[in-house]
């Protein structure tokens, strides 16, 4: 256990935000879900008691008859904003006084940094480079992430849960988003920061970043497993396997999505374009974890091989 | 001055006459006392009224006008839902993000006074800033940490909006504007990364822009790129760097994107984002919970 190495990585100035993320993301996930569960208890109560549903103010926040439903922005909101600004300024001041922004040696194209890392917020993309070629990891997948995020309001046909925390009424949406945001994005950033060392090799926390380490990983392509050498056959096999993946994943998501009574109701409300977009985005998102398993468990590099592109 | 006054004295002597001087001084004092009464009620002065336009007192109307008639505050409504100020609903992340944007604009402008986007002096400017400029180090630190913090708060803001379902009708489009702002925030931070012209920025940008050369169709290393005639000297990476390597043109381009182009674009989208928050009915909640049995049948086109 190399505590010094661990300390060096965790306290590198530019890694402080990720160290902060380690605390902030779990905290806010808990904070949001805590209120979701509080609302869910209220929803269960109201569903069990229709009389109560008619008269209740339907929030977990306290309310008594006679209380004004609205309050003045000045001073009740503005004082909070001022306070927030002061607190953020104080945090920034202390942070800036105690920690210096990193400055390395002057740029030198002849001296490659090892590891050469992207800014921390793009480490998720850099980590994807392990599993996909740059055109996928650096261009297509980021585009899909943005397109997928933008599509969320248009493919989410569930009318419940607008403007309040809830888990019960939006299980599917919340689990999917948390999987993408925490499992595939934040986790990859953390791996890229704390675990990837020289040569972008995997170093468990506490392992020494050995610049001379060699890893003998005999990565193979899928067609190699079957002894296929012809380019045409390779392409055909790849397309078939990808096609099978799309079909299987699509079927799996369909089963999963229509698995509950409530989701079937939502499914009924969706039009064909919404559903196809949702399916396409989910299938493409799952490409990453599936490819990770292929790579890490079966040591397979490419599935589809063509003269123009490899996946 | 009428003739014959001043005890028959003339010229300078008349001006220095003791009695006359005293009368004049007393009149001035009385006038000063009278006029300075206005300072006891500064809000009644014409000067004050000209600045603030409306009266400020403890009435509800006045409090509402205080927000509505102020250019900086008028993005707020006069009144909001009593529960909307609860920290556990909003987490304050959107507001903090905007505040950090202001901090970054301020510190960034100050940094621009000391920085030349030229390969010859850029790195030396940073050294100068760190060692010679008063508070230069603090300035640079604050700019960098605020930028990092802004990325985190943007992520958490998105997370909160998702968890509260605030992107649902009628706020769908504002979520899309938010996604664009998310991208622009990252690009803003990324373009700033190269500016110190040190090893960290150089290699981060090298890694980043090397991905661009693999762009399908538009990159010389991407699928079908070479087939479309892409080379290292005409593809999308060349456009980003202003050359085939990360060099002086890349520094200049990154500087202009960072300091001028993206801030203008992001400000425009910010305006739209805030305006839509109001037009879409203000902050989304905390809204009363809706039960499954109360879902209204959807409207078909």
Q: Is the pLDDT of residue A33 over 70?
A: yes
Question: Cβ contact (<8 Å) for A116 and B211?
Answer: no
CA distance A138 to chain B (A): 5
Q: Is the pLDDT of residue B294 over 60?
A: yes
Answer with the residue of higher pLDDT: B47 or A170.
Answer: A170
Answer with the residue of higher pLDDT: B35 or B125.
Answer: B125
Which residue in chain B has the smallest CA separation from A31? B88
According to DSSP, the residues that pair with A305 across neighbouring strands are A310
Closest partner CB to B196 (pick from A93, A103, A173): A103
**Same domain, residue pair A162 and A224:** no
Which residue in chain B has the smallest CA separation from A57? B288
Measured between alpha carbons, how far is A74 from A80 in angstroms, rounded to an integer?
Answer: 10
Q: Is the pLDDT of residue A305 over 90?
A: no
CA distance A97 to chain B (A): 6
Answer yes or no: is A139 within a domain: yes
**Same domain, residue pair A48 and A62:** yes
Q: Tell me the per-residue pLDDT of A200-215, one tens digit each, with 9 for 90 and over.
A: 888 888 888 888 888 8
Cα→Cα distances B279→A150, B94, B162, B274, Å: 20, 17, 20, 9
**Same domain, residue pair A193 and A130:** yes
Answer yes or no: is A123 within a domain: yes
Answer with the residue of higher pLDDT: A305 or B196.
Answer: B196
ipTM of the complex: 0.94
Worst-scoring range by mean pLDDT, A247-251, B1-5, B134-138? B1-5
Measured between alpha carbons, how far is B192 from B115 in angstroms, rounded to an integer?
Answer: 12
Domain range for A276 is 216-311
According to DSSP, the residues that pair with B79 across neighbouring strands are A72
Q: Find how far residue B88's CA is from the centre of its chain.
A: 25
Worst-scoring range by mean pLDDT, A26-40, A220-234, B89-103, B161-175? A220-234
Give SS3 for A220.
Answer: strand
Chain A residues with CB-CB distance to B227 below 8 A = 308
The pLDDT of residue B4 is 47
Is A110 an interface residue toward B (CB < 8 Å)? no
The pLDDT of residue A185 is 94
Answer yes or no: is A126 within a domain: yes
Domain boundary among A161, A193, A212: A212
Instruction: Put residue B169 in one of left, alpha, beta given phi > 0 → left and psi -120 to 50 → alpha.
Output: beta
Across all residues in chain B, what is the average pLDDT? Answer: 89
> Pick from B147, B185, B186, B93: which is nearest to A27 by CA?
B93
Helical ranges in B220-299 per DSSP H: 236-241, 248-256, 262-279
Domain boundary among A194, A212, A230: A212
**Same domain, residue pair A256 and A153:** no
> Pick from B210, B85, B26, B102: which is nearest to A126 by CA?
B210
Which fold would CATH assign to domain B92-281?
Cytochrome Bc1 Complex; Chain C (1.20.810)
Answer yes or no: is A87 within a domain: no
Question: Cβ contact (<8 Å) for B165 and A164?
Answer: yes
Worst-scoring range by mean pLDDT, A96-100, A148-152, B50-54, B292-296? B50-54
Closest partner CB to A59 (pick from B83, B138, B222): B83
Answer yes or no: is A95 within a domain: no
Q: Tell me the per-residue pLDDT of B247-270, one tens digit each, with 9 for 90 and over.
A: 999 999 999 999 999 999 999 999
Q: Is the pLDDT of residue B2 over 80?
A: no
Closest partner CB to A165 (pick from B66, B142, B163): B163
**Same domain, residue pair A44 and A137:** yes
Across all residues in chain A, what is the average pLDDT? Answer: 91
* Rounded (10°) CA dihedral A92, A96, A98, A101: 130
Measured between alpha carbons, how far is B66 from B69 in angstroms, rounded to an integer?
Answer: 6
Answer with the residue of higher pLDDT: B57 or B120.
Answer: B120
Answer with the residue of higher pLDDT: A239 or B68.
Answer: A239
**Same domain, residue pair A28 and A152:** yes
Is A39 an interface residue toward B (CB < 8 Å)? yes
Residue B48 — very low, low, confident or very high, per pLDDT cuts 50/70/90? Answer: confident
Q: Tell me the per-residue pLDDT of A142-178, one tens digit each, with 9 for 90 and over.
A: 999 999 999 999 999 999 999 999 999 999 999 999 9
Q: Is the pLDDT of residue B70 over 90?
A: no
Answer yes or no: is A133 within a domain: yes
For the segment A26-30, the average pLDDT, to the nearest whole number, is 96
For the segment B197-222, the average pLDDT, to the nearest whole number, is 89
For the segment A277-306, the average pLDDT, to the nearest whole number, is 91
For the segment B23-35, the average pLDDT, to the nearest whole number, is 92
Residue B8 — very low, low, confident or very high, per pLDDT cuts 50/70/90? Answer: low
Which residue in chain B has the smallest CA separation from A102? B200
Element spanning B81, H or E = strand B79-81
Give SS3 for B174.
Answer: helix
Question: Cβ contact (<8 Å) for A93 and B142?
Answer: yes
How many domains would you assign to chain A? 2
Worst-scoring range by mean pLDDT, A201-205, B2-6, B76-80, B82-86? B2-6
The pLDDT of residue B38 is 77
Domain boundary among A188, A212, A236: A212
Answer yes or no: is A251 within a domain: yes
Closest partner CB to A71 (pick from B67, B79, B162): B79
**Same domain, residue pair A225 and A170:** no
Q: Is the pLDDT of residue B5 over 80?
A: no
Q: Is the pLDDT of residue B57 over 90?
A: no
Answer yes or no: is A74 within a domain: no
The pLDDT of residue B45 is 82
**Same domain, residue pair A264 and A172:** no
**Same domain, residue pair A252 and A150:** no
The pLDDT of residue B301 is 61
**Same domain, residue pair A49 and A124:** yes
The pLDDT of residue A273 is 93
Is A264 an interface residue toward B (CB < 8 Å)? no
Q: Which parts of A3-155 are beta strand (E)?
A: 70-72
Question: Cβ contact (<8 Å) for B298 and A269?
Answer: yes
The pLDDT of residue A200 is 87
**Same domain, residue pair A237 and A128:** no
**Same domain, residue pair A308 and A274:** yes
Where in chain B are the domains? 42-79, 92-281
Question: Cβ contact (<8 Å) for B203 and A39?
Answer: no
Which residue in chain B has the smallest CA separation from A120? B148
């Amino acid at each position: 256990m190399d505590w010094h190495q661990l300390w060096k990585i965790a306290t590198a100035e530019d890694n402080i935000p990720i160290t902060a993320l380690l605390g902030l993301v779990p905290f806010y996930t808990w904070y949001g879900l805590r209120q979701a569960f509080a609302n869910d208890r209220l929803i269960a109560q109201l569903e069990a008691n229709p009389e109560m549903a008619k008269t209740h103010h339907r929030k977990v926040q306290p309310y008594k008859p006679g209380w004004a439903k609205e309050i003045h922005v000045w001073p009740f909101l503005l004082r909070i904003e001022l306070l927030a600004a002061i607190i953020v300024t104080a945090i920034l001041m202390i942070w800036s006084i105690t920690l210096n922004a990193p400055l390395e040696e002057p740029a030198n194209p002849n001296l490659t940094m090892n590891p050469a890392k992207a800014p921390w917020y793009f480490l998720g993309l850099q980590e994807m480079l392990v599993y996909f070629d740059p055109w996928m990891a650096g261009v297509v997948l980021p585009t899909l992430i943005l397109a997928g995020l933008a599509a969320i309001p248009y493919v989410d046909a569930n009318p419940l849960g607008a403007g309040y925390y809830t888990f019960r009424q939006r299980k599917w949406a919340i689990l999917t988003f948390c999987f993408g945001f925490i499992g595939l994005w934040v986790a990859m950033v953390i791996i890229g920061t704390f675990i990837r060392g020289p040569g972008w090799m995997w170093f468990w926390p506490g392992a020494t970043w050995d610049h001379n380490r060699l890893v003998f990983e005999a990565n193979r392509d899928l067609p190699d497993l079957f002894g296929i050498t012809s380019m045409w056959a390779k392409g055909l096999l790849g397309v078939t396997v990808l096609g099978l993946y799309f079909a299987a994943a699509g079927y799996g998501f369909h089963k999963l999505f229509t698995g509950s009574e409530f989701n079937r109701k939502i499914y009924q409300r969706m039009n064909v374009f919404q559903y196809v977009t949702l399916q396409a985005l989910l299938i493409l998102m799952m490409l990453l974890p599936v490819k990770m398993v292929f790579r890490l468990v079966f040591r397979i590099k490419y599935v589809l091989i063509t003269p123009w592109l490899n996946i | 001055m009428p003739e014959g006054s001043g005890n028959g004295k003339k010229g300078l002597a008349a001006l220095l006459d003791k009695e006359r001087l005293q009368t004049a001084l007393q009149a001035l004092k009385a006038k000063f006392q009278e006029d300075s009464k206005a300072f006891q009620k500064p809000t009644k002065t014409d000067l004050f009224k000209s600045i603030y336009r409306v009266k400020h007192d403890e009435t509800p109307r006045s409090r509402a006008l205080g927000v509505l008639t102020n250019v900086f505050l008028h993005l707020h409504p006069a009144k909001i839902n009593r529960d909307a100020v609860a920290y556990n609903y909003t987490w304050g992340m959107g507001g903090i993000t905007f505040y950090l944007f202001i901090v970054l604009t301020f510190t960034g402008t100050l940094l621009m006074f000391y920085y030349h986007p030229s390969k010859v002096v850029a790195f030396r400017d940073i050294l100068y800033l760190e060692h010679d400029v008063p508070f230069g180090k603090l300035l640079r630190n604050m700019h960098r940490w605020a930028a990092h913090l802004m990325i985190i708060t943007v992520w958490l803001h998105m997370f909160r909006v998702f968890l509260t379902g605030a992107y649902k009708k009628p706020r769908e489009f504002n979520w899309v504007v938010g996604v664009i702002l998310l991208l622009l925030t990252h690009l803003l931070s990324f373009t700033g990364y190269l500016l110190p012209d040190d090893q960290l920025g150089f290699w981060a940008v090298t890694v980043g822009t090397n991905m661009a050369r693999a762009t399908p169709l538009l990159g010389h290393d991407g699928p079908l790129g070479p087939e479309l005639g892409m080379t290292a000297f005409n593809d999308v990476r060349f456009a980003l760097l202003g050359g085939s390597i990360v060099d002086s043109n890349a520094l200049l381009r990154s500087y202009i994107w960072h300091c001028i182009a993206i801030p203008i674009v992001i400000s425009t989208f910010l305006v739209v984002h805030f305006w839509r928050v109001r037009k879409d009915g203000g902050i989304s909640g905390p809204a009363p919970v809706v039960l499954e049995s109360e879902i209204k049948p959807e409207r078909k086109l």
